[in-house]
Structure 1
Amino acid sequence: MDLLTPVVEEDKLHHNFKMLLSETDTHKVLKSWVLGFVDRDKKFVEQFQTTFNSCFWELYLNAVLGNLGFSIDFSYTSPDFIAQKKNQTVVIEAVTTNNPEYGTPEHERIKALERYELESQSRLGRERFYDEVVSLATERILNSIKKKSDYFLNKYSKLEHVKGNPFVLAVGAFEQPLFYYQALGAIQKVLYGITKAEYRQGIPYFEYEDYIEKQNNGTKIPLGLFRDSRLSHISAIIFSPIATFGKLRALQSKKLKGVYFESYRYNDYSKKGTIELLEHKDYRETLLDGLCVYHNPYAEIPLDKGLFSHPDIYVNMHEEYSRMKHGFLFRRRVINNNNLTTKAISTLRSGF
């Protein structure tokens, strides 16, 4: 597929696609993600250029599956991926979180960045900002999961090539400016109701909530989707809050001057994660960094634990048992600014 030659008028092109066109060093990485991908309905190129995020997420998943040794059968019109590995078939449906009608699209981030710069001057401000990001992300992830869950029950579950195979929902985060700051806070809240996870006197400590209130009308939405059998038809959920354009820039071979990567990683030797600010030439990130797989302990058809086994992938078996490597990438933002002493971030690319 030729994704990069515009097929619609310029005023219809998505902001992120126009930015992609200007970042020619990322094109080689993107083209590697496209290898083997089939445009089954002949609409993908136009959708990629006009709506972008959901298509970008599918291409990332295509690259991930290839990296992990899956072969993909594109002969079926849906769901998105019929992936095979070790003589096992996995049905995968991709979905992205999007901004609510009353919310701000993820690419309109200048005001959010300016506010973050102010809030981040104090610990209380950082915590308040993080809580707001996680709150909206939680609501939008729940919304996306519900829609695809209903779609599976009403349509996909009746398809012969789906029956008897584990069904996996792959959720990509794009619901707000600075969505990447949620790290794993929102998805852990959605699946397990976890609102706090820390060590107290060397022992893991958790706090839980049973529901959240929808921001625009106060409606209560249940949490802890993987704490009982209500979603037993979903075998697992794949999630990443950082499979964005920043991933392309991290993987490109040409390292840019004036570009810095701020990362927050898991530290196996401390109760706190590690925050680093590195120049592009010194920064390292893999395709799979930041990717999570949450197995549903109540799944009717469990997903084989070994199919997505890789050191870079965070694998969660249930709410208090998981496998995470030292240095797992929770969060990453890209700062395109030659003057790091400036409080205001002056580019739309920051964090994307």
Structure 2
Amino acid sequence: MRPISNQRFNAFAAYCRSPQALAIAEEIHWFEADESRIVATIIRDRPDSEFAGLILGRDEKERYRWINATEFFKSKIQARAALRAKIDEIIPILEQHRKQGDNDKKPVDFFTPLKKTKQPLHQSFLNLTTLEGFSPAKEIIEPMMRWHEDADGNFVEQFQTTGFDSRIWELYLFSLFTEAGFVIDNSSAIPDFSCSGLAGEFCAEATTVNPSRDKKGKIVPPPPVETEEEMEAAIRDYFPIKFAGPLTEKLRKRYWERENVQGKPFILAIQDFQTPTAMTLTRDALPVYLYGYRKADDWSMEDPKVERVETHQWGTKTINSNFFSFEGAEYISAVIFNSSATISKFNRIGLQAGFGSDHVRLFRFGSACKTENGNPYITKYAHYVSEDAMVETWSEGLEVFHNPRAIHPLPMEMLPDAAHHFMSDDGLMRSRLPDWLPIQSFTRIEVEELPPQPDDNELF
């Protein structure tokens, strides 16, 4: 039995945790044993301040679930000793302990290529499953995927082929909502997420911005953004038009009329995958389209003037701006976005949690909004990802754009670690920001050969 971080324990077991359990007990230490076939935690009972150990093992579907526990003790030292003894007792007979007897389905497997698919395997899927540099991401997805219920029947095929980016975005949201303390109801495939927890209930639907294609299905590259003028033009019109397509498509489906959504906050979660780095460039365009305001040409920090935007035009295409003003949009509580939520986030969190090859090093760099003494400012950052560095969470980088017309507003407490943005009547954005919010995030993968290690006989 060896100690592990809360981050590593959550990667294994967060998906079976009941939000109500955290209301009556606090986890204070975490462990793994028997080559990670067992994970465990010591809890402190909040009412009585007594300590006990909980033991989890993989069930028939390879999902970590409760299998045993110690008694309660007055001290955590006693609880730890009892936990170690209980684990030593269970290991020889783990096979009989781990079986829950409530399912007979095979474990969910994202990674074994399906024998028959309509489309070729996606290059990013091949990278994830074959390249050593992505091993932290692959290994942290493995315990997560065991809890996935393929409600629409094609998740695995799309994950392996044409829908890889969209499915990674959905896996990110699954991790995000779990981390925030919500249980996800899989009884209905529509919308993508029906969440409940101590903070309340909400529903969410995922969508993505994808590459434009011509009539023959070939990808049409986005306009160049090499100069400041090109970038400003794209943010002014091209990128808002790209966000408009998937958002208005979801709006037309009127999810809020479904029985399982009625009366609850409803979120649209969007990510930009039109190019591999698009999400790092287009973030400023999203609120322009959502609220129909942009900075005036003479905008300054001392005089932050804004101007109304009625339409966006690029080439022959023209669309209306101010998504939240559209008919039916009052049922959209918020739109959420995270520029850093890509496969690289899984890789970084996986490495921090102790997953993947020892040869892998990840160097992260970009720009962030840092807040000190209530004053936000933009700064550059660059560092190697490590288990000893500041823990990256799934909510890091998340931005919530609240709808001022929402019939069912989303309480900030539901996603407390996100950046929350509110548009006021004067067209100026008011925000509640975390201390550190990555705006642009890039990750360089390095795979190093370690020097040969001596065997045990050479050490003596």
TM-score w.r.t. structure 2 length? 0.62
Alignment of 1:179 with 2:278, yes or no, is: yes
Q: How many Å apart are 1:140 and its aligned residue?
A: 1.6
Alignment of 1:164 with 2:263, yes or no, is: yes
Q: Deviations over 1:175-213 (max 9, x none)?
A: 224202325202111112343389735454434422211
On the 8 A contact 2:268/2:336 being kept in 1, the answer is yes
Q: Deviations over 1:257-307 (max 9, x none)?
A: 664222210033677511123234487532211111122110122223321
On the 8 A contact 1:79/1:93 being kept in 2, the answer is yes
Quote the residue 2:345 is aligned against.
Answer: 247
Quote the residue 2:37 is aligned against.
Answer: none
Alignment of 1:200 with 2:300, yes or no, is: yes
Aligned length: 319
Match of 1:144 among 236, 243, 246: 246
Match of 2:193 among 78, 81, 89: 81
What amino acid does structure 1 have at the position aligned with 2:286? I
* Distance of aligned partners of 1:104 and 1:211 in 2 relative to their CA distance in 1, 3 Å threshold: farther
On the 8 A contact 2:364/2:443 being kept in 1, the answer is yes
Quote the residue 2:128 is aligned against.
Answer: 20
* Distance of aligned partners of 1:318 and 1:195 in 2 relative to their CA distance in 1, 3 Å threshold: closer
Q: 1:99-114 to 2 correspondence within 5 Å?
A: 99-102=211-214
Q: How many Å apart are 1:78 and its aligned residue?
A: 1.2
On the 8 A contact 2:279/2:340 being kept in 1, the answer is yes
Select the structure with the greater relative contact order (CA < 8 A; seq sep ≥ 6).
Answer: 1
Match of 1:305 among 407, 412, 421: 412
Alignment of 1:189 with 2:288, yes or no, is: yes
- RMSD in angstroms over aligned alpha carbons? 3.2
Segment drifting more, 202-211 vs 74-83 = 202-211
Between structures 1 and 2, the one with greater strand share? 2
Q: How many Å apart are 1:172 and its aligned residue?
A: 1.6
Quote the residue 2:8 is aligned against.
Answer: none
2:253 match: secondary structure: helix
What amino acid does structure 2 have at the position aligned with 1:17? F
What amino acid does structure 1 have at the position aligned with 2:341? A
Mapped partners of 2:359, 2:293: distance in 1: 39
Segment drifting more, 64-73 vs 29-38 = 29-38
Segment drifting more, 228-237 vs 22-31 = 228-237
Mapped partners of 2:408, 2:444: distance in 1: 43
Match of 1:295 among 391, 402, 406: 402
* Distance of aligned partners of 1:181 and 1:161 in 2 relative to their CA distance in 1, 3 Å threshold: closer
Q: How many Å apart are 1:133 and its aligned residue?
A: 6.3
Mapped partners of 2:291, 2:347: distance in 1: 33
Segment drifting more, 300-309 vs 289-298 = 300-309
What stretches of structure 2 of length at least 5 have no aligned partner?
Answer: 1-107, 448-460
Quote the residue 2:334 is aligned against.
Answer: 236
On the 8 A contact 1:167/1:235 being kept in 2, the answer is yes
Percentage of identical aligned residues: 26
Quote the residue 1:263 is aligned against.
Answer: 366
What stretches of structure 1 of length at least 5 have no aligned partner?
Answer: 120-124, 339-352
Quote the residue 1:5 is aligned against.
Answer: 112
Mapped partners of 1:305, 1:297: distance in 2: 14
Mapped partners of 2:159, 2:284: distance in 1: 29
Mapped partners of 2:434, 2:125: distance in 1: 33
On the 8 A contact 2:363/2:444 being kept in 1, the answer is yes
What amino acid does structure 2 have at the position aligned with 1:16? S
1:200 match: secondary structure: coil
Q: 1:319-330 to 2 correspondence within 5 Å?
A: 319=424, 320-330=429-439
Quote the residue 1:335 is aligned against.
Answer: 444
On the 8 A contact 1:82/1:91 being kept in 2, the answer is yes
On the 8 A contact 1:183/1:331 being kept in 2, the answer is no
What amino acid does structure 1 have at the position aligned with 2:109? D
* Distance of aligned partners of 1:8 and 1:210 in 2 relative to their CA distance in 1, 3 Å threshold: farther
| Structure whose alpha-carbon radius of gyration is higher | 2
Quote the residue 2:323 is aligned against.
Answer: 225
2:212 match: secondary structure: coil
TM-score w.r.t. structure 1 length? 0.79
Q: Deviations over 1:16-58 (max 9, x none)?
A: 1111112222212223443533112332111110121111111
Mapped partners of 2:232, 2:347: distance in 1: 25
On the 8 A contact 1:266/1:274 being kept in 2, the answer is yes
On the 8 A contact 1:228/1:298 being kept in 2, the answer is no
1:30 match: secondary structure: helix
Q: Deviations over 1:47-77 (max 9, x none)?
A: 1101211111111101001000011111113
On the 8 A contact 1:37/1:62 being kept in 2, the answer is no
Q: How many Å apart are 1:235 and its aligned residue?
A: 1.3
2:371 match: secondary structure: coil
